[in-house]
Structure 1
């Protein structure tokens, strides 16, 4: 299981504490909470970032603002199963219920180590059961609709529709 998270001094202490606890309790894993100024991940090349996460079956995605974290799309792009906190409000805007089951996107109860442990087991079992076909499905979903140009096109379309309805 993989997860690298930025830590911001004075913010997100509950989230950071939970992730640190998960790092210690759920072995083996590569969960790291790194002070943002020390995190070199965002300064790495795209290939190095891909290589860092590509070897994992499950990737923990834990947002700061209860949004859909970019790590969900990273996980899908490398064929891994994303693990997200239950109840992310905009997840259904990105993936319908059928896609969330097919990939799958596995959820856990926020701030609950045992729930994250169970979600991790479920994600790894789903990865193993899906094999290469599951990896291809997840990868293709990311490639077909979840890169920056897809997002910008969707936002522009919404803005144009809003402008037309306002005139």
Structure 2
């Protein structure tokens, strides 16, 4: 029987402190969550990808984190320079500033992402829960990919994803609740 998914505190979680605060990250570490997510925004432009991942490797080791991004070219750069670092292509981009024609292409590439994943060399996907339920978990499982599902905060959805053997990591703002539901 496969082990239940690990729990990741999205931006440290929000159960006892504001998201992405020092207190939230401290609480996430105390909660028992196996992963704590934090965002680094400037990695795509001006060659920041490699120095940021070098720093993460120095602090956490090659197997101590998962590098996730919406940008295929960033995943490709990480995969090329750090082949032993786990990478996940993030799927479920927000619409902001994207025209209807481009949005349709993006959504199709997210529903059927294997071509993108192979091209950038990702070892997994970090997928929005709606896309996960639609097609992505099935495709990721068929192809042996590491899977992370985000951001799941409602009890019913948490129970469903925690029981799904295709999910490796559940990302939530409520890590303590997810851990309690996981039992």
When you count helix as a share of all residues, which structure comes out higher?
A: 1
- Do the structures match in fold with TM over 0.5? no
TM-score by length of 1: 0.33
TM-score by length of 2: 0.31
Q: Which has the higher contact order (CA 8 A, sep 6+)?
A: 2
